[in-house]
């Protein structure tokens, strides 16, 4: 199981950048009281960012590994990261997708994968599925 780094509170801070290259994403964050950080996502397998704009204000940064996401959000999170087949697709495609999602959830539960969720007060809402993460202060 990968160790989850200590994540400081970014409430009312900002998501100032997202860079992706070769299965690695670097998220630039700034705390409301100051302090610049980079959250690096290694072994990136899925990334979905909605409503990215200038001045993205963070409500919460959550890193999940060793357990599944909250039951009320689990289906929405997995559908955003790994969209299912068209509703009219053959049942075999739906069954294959359901098995794929169960395998991803098992990876999260075992700690073999990590989910990063950044909820926004304004602007970007981000979800990522990766192997491991590293938090680094830029001071």
Could you tell me which of 101, 69, 72 has the C-alpha nearest to residue 84? 101
pLDDT at 1: 57
Q: What is the pLDDT of residues 89-102, one digit of tens each?
A: 999 999 999 999 99
pLDDT per residue as tens digits for the range 38-80: 999 999 999 999 999 888 999 999 999 999 888 888 999 999 9
Provide the pLDDT confidence category of residue 122 given band limits of 50, 70 and 90: very high
Q: Say what the pLDDT of residue 54 is.
A: 86
Element at 110 (helix H, strand E): helix 91-110
pLDDT score of 2: 61
């Amino acid at each position: 199981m990968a160790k989850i780094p200590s994540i400081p509170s970014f409430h009312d801070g900002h998501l100032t950048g997202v860079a992706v290259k070769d299965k690695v994403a670097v998220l630039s964050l700034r705390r409301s009281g100051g302090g610049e950080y980079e959250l690096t996502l290694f072994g990136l397998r899925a990334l979905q960012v909605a409503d990215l704009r200038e001045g993205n204000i963070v409500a919460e940064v959550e890193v999940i590994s060793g357990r599944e996401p909250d039951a009320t959000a689990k289906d929405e999170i997995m559908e955003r990261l790994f969209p299912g087949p068209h509703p009219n697709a053959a049942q075999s495609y739906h069954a294959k997708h359901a098995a794929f999602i169960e395998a991803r959830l098992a990876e999260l539960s075992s700690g073999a994968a990590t989910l990063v969720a950044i909820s926004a007060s304004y602007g970007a809402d981000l979800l990522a599925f990766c192997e491991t993460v590293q938090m680094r202060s830029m001071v």
